[in-house]
DNA sequence: TGGTCATGTGACTAGCAGGTCACATTTTAC
DNA sequence: GTAAAATGTGACCTGCTAGTCACATGACCA
């Protein structure tokens, strides 16, 4: 975590450093991020950087805290739309709120997803933590769905969680990589076409999850 | 592509270099791979390396050719199990054959998946090529499935392809990262537990895809 | 044997990385 | 005011990288 000297800094200077770091991680990931570039882009001296942070992973850890905080605030701002949502509706809402967040803070999202999903898969550590939290949340969710009778109790919980996580991650990656190609990400994310695509994907998932275990009979076809 | 000098090399020397390169890419990806380490581990001089290859991406391109060749041979070896498979059975067979390949050549698979999926997502090029090929194959497959009446014709083809690709990639990543933790990957992949897990995932996908479009009525529950 | 051409080699260059540290500057305390 | 403590700074160190090149070694042929 950053040293006290960093927290003592005036707000605008802190923000300049944070923004430079976000851009750096978004562009190069954690492994290939250059502290030299970060200091150059934030207009501070090399020595100062090491007076604020232990090293670049220290900056990154701090960034992840900032992202978590921003995300929490963002989600709180989005009033949970209805009272009586079933679990899948709630999941769909969550995924979409996540999409909104990612398009509202694209660089931040890109930096986080890049390091966590992409490098994290191989270097562990940060990813493992994130992964565990997600799994716990989704496990609680799917168990609730079973109690509510929305999911067949014979469905493998671990499996359902894996499926939901895979989709959630796939969508995040999709939004971030595709979204980068758009000139107005927010507009693109909110477009009917994008929303419909996401909806459909989640419906396929939902339809598959609701009841699956029983191998299901052949010849269900559309006829 | 490698220069003639490389192809003139005795087989064992060529293999030593290729193996060192595979290990390097598997461990560090393309971006962070070190030619210094590759030459050190293959017991050749730095200068020789540059007499065989243009640079490290040249080695990588060659490796991908080797992998493609090995994979083709591997798939040919696996006799297509039955004559009258429906499309989903065929897809399941393909995914499983892919898993077998990945566990038979784990380092190769790790190197390829790491560079293509992980770095490729951001650096494009190699990934784009692979991506397009996969999409074409899957598109043909899903269209066939519609003709056969196995998939509702109202299902969005592009969407179905995306879903199949996502799952195929997710499973590959899962096998490679989880498999690395096992002492005997092949045994782990072939274990009933692993196979069952994959089966279930694919069944969820299949069940979701067979018929989805029609929003589907609420209250399908298991009651 | 001597000559020619292909191949092997590792010291060397230039550039960038992370990190340090002696010193300059500013802020605070008295 | 003056002393002390905190903060700012960039030249410098070591270690890595990709890539080059003058030279050594080997293979082939007359």
Whether residue A71 is predicted with pLDDT greater than 90 in this model: the reply is yes
Please compute the mean of the pLDDT values over residues B41-52 and round it to a whole number: 97
Pairwise CA distance, residues A129 & B65, whole Å: 37
What would you report as the CA-atom Rg of chain B, rounded to the nearest whole angstrom? Answer: 20
Is A156 strand, coil or helix? coil
Quick check: is A70 in a domain? Answer: no
Residues of A in contact with B86 (CB under 8 A): 218
Q: What is the largest CA-CA distance in chain A?
A: 72
Give yes or no: residues B57 and B86 share one domain. no
Looking at the complex, report in whole angstroms how far the Cα of residue A69 sits from the nearest Cα belonging to chain B: 26
pLDDT digits (tens, 9 = 90+) for A154-176: 788 999 999 999 999 999 999 99
Looking at the complex, report in whole angstroms how far the Cα of residue B146 sits from the nearest Cα belonging to chain A: 10
* CA angle, A92 then A97 then A101, to 5°: 150
Give yes or no: residues B128 and B19 share one domain. no
Question: What's the pLDDT at B210?
Answer: 80
Its domain, for residue B110, covers 78-210
Residues of A in contact with B203 (CB under 8 A): 208, 212, 215-216
Q: Which one of B30, B62, B94 terminates a domain?
A: B62
In this complex, is the C-beta atom of B205 within 8 Å of any C-beta atom belonging to chain A?
yes
In this complex, is the C-beta atom of A215 within 8 Å of any C-beta atom belonging to chain B?
yes
- CA quadruple A43, A46, A48, A51: dihedral sign: positive
Quick check: is A69 in a domain? Answer: no
Give yes or no: residues B103 and B173 share one domain. yes
Q: B58 with A57: CB under 8 angstroms? A: no
Pairwise CA distance, residues B139 & B141, whole Å: 5
- CB proximity B46–strand D (7 Å threshold): yes
Whether residue B223 is predicted with pLDDT greater than 60 in this model: the reply is no
Q: CATH no. for residue B144?
A: 1.10.357.10
Pairwise CA distance, residues A1 & B87, whole Å: 53
Give yes or no: residues A122 and A193 share one domain. yes
- CB proximity A36–strand C (7 Å threshold): yes
Give yes or no: residues A85 and A164 share one domain. yes
Please, which pLDDT band fits residue B216 given cuts at 50, 70 and 90?
A: very low
Pairwise CA distance, residues A199 & B156, whole Å: 12
Quick check: is B179 in a domain? Answer: yes
Give yes or no: residues A116 and A174 share one domain. yes
Q: How many domains does chain A have?
A: 2
Give yes or no: residues B46 and B146 share one domain. no
Is A12 strand, coil or helix? helix
Q: CATH no. for residue B46?
A: 1.10.10.60
Please, which pLDDT band fits residue B160 given cuts at 50, 70 and 90?
A: very high
Distances (CA, A) of A32 to A74, A104, B28, B81: 30, 25, 12, 46
Average model confidence (pLDDT) across chain B: 88
Q: B197 with B98: CB under 8 angstroms? A: no
Nearest-by-CA chain A residue for B208: A208
Please, which pLDDT band fits residue A213 given cuts at 50, 70 and 90?
A: very low
Whether residue B221 is predicted with pLDDT greater than 80 in this model: the reply is no
Looking at the complex, report in whole angstroms how far the Cα of residue B221 sits from the nearest Cα belonging to chain A: 5
Structure tokens at A36: 């030299």
- What interface predicted TM-score (ipTM) does this complex get? 0.89
Q: What is the DSSP string of B128-193?
A: HHHHHHHHHHHHHHHHHHHHTTSS-TTS-HHHHHHHHHHHHHHHHHHHHHHHHTSS-HHHHHHSHH
Quick check: is B140 in a domain? Answer: yes
Quick check: is B68 in a domain? Answer: no
Whether residue A219 is predicted with pLDDT greater than 80 in this model: the reply is no
Please compute the mean of the pLDDT values over residues B155-161 and round it to a whole number: 89
Whether residue B41 is predicted with pLDDT greater than 80 in this model: the reply is yes
Question: What's the pLDDT at B12?
Answer: 94
pLDDT digits (tens, 9 = 90+) for A26-68: 999 999 999 999 999 999 999 999 999 999 999 999 999 999 9
- CB proximity B10–strand C (7 Å threshold): no
Question: CB-side exposure of A66: number of CA atoms within 13 Å?
Answer: 19
């Amino acid at each position: 975590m950053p040293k006290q000297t960093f927290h003592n800094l005036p707000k605008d200077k802190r923000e300049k450093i944070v923004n430079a770091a976000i851009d750096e991680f978004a562009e190069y990931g954690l492994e290939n991020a250059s502290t030299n570039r970060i200091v150059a882009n934030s207009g501070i001296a090399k020595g100062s950087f090491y007076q604020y942070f232990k090293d670049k992973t220290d900056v990154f850890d701090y960034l992840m805290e900032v992202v978590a905080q921003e995300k929490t605030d963002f989600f709180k701002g989005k009033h949970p739309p209805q009272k009586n949502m079933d679990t899948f509706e709630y999941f769909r809402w969550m995924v979409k709120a996540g999409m909104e967040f990612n398009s509202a803070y694209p660089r931040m999202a890109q930096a986080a997803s890049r390091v966590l999903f992409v490098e994290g898969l191989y270097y562990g550590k940060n990813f493992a933590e994130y992964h565990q939290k997600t799994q716990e949340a989704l496990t609680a969710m799917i168990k609730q769905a079973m109690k509510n009778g929305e999911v067949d109790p014979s469905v493998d919980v671990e499996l359902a969680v894996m499926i939901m996580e895979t989709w959630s991650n796939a969508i995040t990656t999709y939004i971030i990589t595709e979204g980068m190609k758009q000139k107005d990400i927010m507009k693109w994310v909110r477009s009917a076409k994008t929303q419909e695509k996401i909806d459909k994907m989640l419906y396929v998932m939902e339809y598959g999850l609701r009841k699956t275990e029983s191998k299901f009979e052949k010849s269900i076809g559309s006829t």
